[in-house]
Chain A
Amino acid sequence: MDFFNLQPDEWQALTLTLRVAAAALLVTLPLAILVAYILARYRFPGHGFVNALVHLPLVLPPVVTGYVLLLTFGRKGPIGVFLDNLFGISFAFNWTGAALAASVMSFPLIVRPIRLSFEAVDPKLEDAARSLGAHRFVGFLTVTLPLALPGILGGAILGFAKAMGEFGATITFVSNIPGETRTLALALYTATQTPSGDLAAFRLTLIAVVVAFAALIASELLARRLRTRLGGGNA
């Protein structure tokens, strides 16, 4: 029965991973919704640049992103020093750094489906909402946002999955410290680098598969409920 009981270090890696991914999503999602809405609804000078910037972590090697984070948010990075002096916040070599790396890496994956679903919502519905007295922001909250919920859910799931599995940027930015930055992916990597680590690696793989399955099933159930609520026909 020992096989089915999680070892303390495995348990630690799992909870840390979930904490990092949840924190990353919590910070990223509102920002992603805002950026996606702006990209979907407004044309302005620099639109293409913002779009490219958002997608940059998707095409850059993750190690590069991690290194850039280290240079800017690290102990000696300008933003890192600034935040440390002013608020005492430090991202270096702790779990919040892992969450930051996961946020940056998952951001483009969250923005994309949300932007597509905003583009699919007829902007004329917002005009109708305003003609009925609703302020632009109220119209967004009561009409566009609910209609885009399936896309937002899709983006969130994709982002959460990406955050859970993030490896390259995390290990470059905040290293591989047990209990602080050693998420499932990093623990698995460590196991594969250890002689006789095969069993540990296999167990971690199983944990990752189980968590991924659970997340997928939960999101599918949620999506089904959303579709029913949003408009009967295609439920």
Chain B
Amino acid sequence: MLEVDISGKVGALEFQAQFESEGGVTSLFGQSGAGKTTLTNMIAGLVKPDRGRIALDGTVLFDAAKGINLPVQRRCIGHVFQDARLFPHLSVKSNLTYARWAGGRSGNRDFGEVVELLGLSTLLGRKPETLSGGEKQRVAIGRALLSDPHLLIMDEPLASLDQARRNDILPYLDRLCVDAGIPILYVSHSIEEVARLSSTLVILSEGRTPAYGPVAEMLTRTDLGRATGRHEAGALVHGNVTDIDANWGLTFVDIGGAVLQIPDLPAKAGDTVRLRIRARDVALAVEPPKGLSIRNAFQARITSISEESGPYAEILCALEDQTIRARITRASVADLELFTGKEVTVLVKSVAIDRRQRNLV
């Protein structure tokens, strides 16, 4: 368990960060300049906070009151930096084993397993400068893993990559998050990555942590618009793949109370999948509409309407135990006479569902 409660001034930013995470993948989410890298550097020991306490699995890493400040090399935190930071004069293999021959780490983790997990076997003899951006990041992740860390920090590992490279590396991250067996602190400003990979979400905004909690719950909070950015707002839903219609290229996903039809989902019948439905791709109707191209329509009950965002209103709808988030204009809320508790028909454009979703294990 990671416990962070620190404050202090770094540059022009006044820090006041407090969160806990139980394990699994914790995402540290915030916009550029929110202080994400500074906060991870504090946890890693590269930057010293003025006040507060950081503990990992009961070991105190930093405690200003008690004068404890473990040096970086003794914190046992693997750090994957935005810019990979491979040692340019060493081969990929020597980079991977650096923690063992220079860091004095015992090497409990199997070298071959990590190489296999990240697809590195063909890269071992090469020098970092001959690698692509995505390959560099995979090596950096492997190198951090092989230092037997108690926590793996990944500071926007995809930020310096183009979309094609990101798509190359995301499947590896999916596997890593499930298979690594250690807690991961994943830093990102992309809500898509966060929704895809994490179990806990910590929001960071201007050096402060206004909220943290389970990712599905956090994504349906409408009071965090400024911190998360309105444009990307959306809800996570879980579902089971019940059927696949190869003829029309549709996958049927039962999300409890409704069955969604999703084109080309890379999943097979019986899989549990996690889908992100963006608020702007959801429409509401007060009675079941006819003659629409939208295939996903189901009944749900409005649980919350918040209208603080200019012309728009954020609506949360409950569907059994899941929540769907919709963004419509305030004018529509007035015209349709929507109120909390009202039964409405939720319309989701089927094409709007992210097709690259990982299986939950």
Binding site for B on A (CB under 8 A): 122, 124-125, 127-136, 138-139, 142-143, 146-147, 229-233
Residues 60 to 83 of chain B near chain A (Cβ within 8 Å): 71-74, 76-79, 81, 83
Q: Give the size range of B's interface with the partner.
A: 20 to 34
Interface presence of B22 (CB below 8 A): no
| The one of A122, A139, A229 that contacts B89, using a Cβ cutoff of 8 Å | A229
CA distance A130 to B71 in the complex (A): 9
| The one of A124, A132, A147, A232 that contacts B98, using a Cβ cutoff of 8 Å | A132
When distances are taken between beta carbons in the complex, the residues of chain B under 8 Å from A139 are 102
CA distance A132 to B99 in the complex (A): 5
Asked if A132 contacts B105 (CB within 8 A), the reply is: yes
Q: How many whole Å from A41's CB to the nearest CB in chain B?
A: 15
Q: How many whole Å from A79's CB to the nearest CB in chain B?
A: 38
When distances are taken between beta carbons in the complex, the residues of chain A under 8 Å from B74 are 133
Residue of B nearest to A128 (CB): B85
**Given A125-B85, A229-B89, A232-B129, CB of A133 within 8 Å of CB of B144:** no
Tell me if A's interface is mostly helix, strand, loop or mixed: helix
Interface presence of B289 (CB below 8 A): no
Q: How many whole Å from B72's CB to the nearest CB in chain A?
A: 4
When distances are taken between beta carbons in the complex, the residues of chain B under 8 Å from A138 are 102-103
Binding site for A on B (CB under 8 A): 44, 46, 71-74, 76-79, 81, 83, 85, 87-89, 98-99, 102-105, 127-130, 143-144, 147
| Most chain B beta-carbon contacts within 10 A, residue among A122, A132, A147, A232 | A132
Q: How many whole Å from B80's CB to the nearest CB in chain A?
A: 9
When distances are taken between beta carbons in the complex, the residues of chain A under 8 Å from B102 are 129, 132-134, 138-139, 142
When distances are taken between beta carbons in the complex, the residues of chain A under 8 Å from B73 are 130-136
CA distance A143 to B101 in the complex (A): 13
**Given A231-B127, A231-B129, A232-B127, CB of A128 within 8 Å of CB of B79:** yes
Asked if B98 contacts A129 (CB within 8 A), the reply is: yes
CA distance A146 to B102 in the complex (A): 14
When distances are taken between beta carbons in the complex, the residues of chain B under 8 Å from A143 are 87, 89
Asked if B105 contacts A133 (CB within 8 A), the reply is: yes
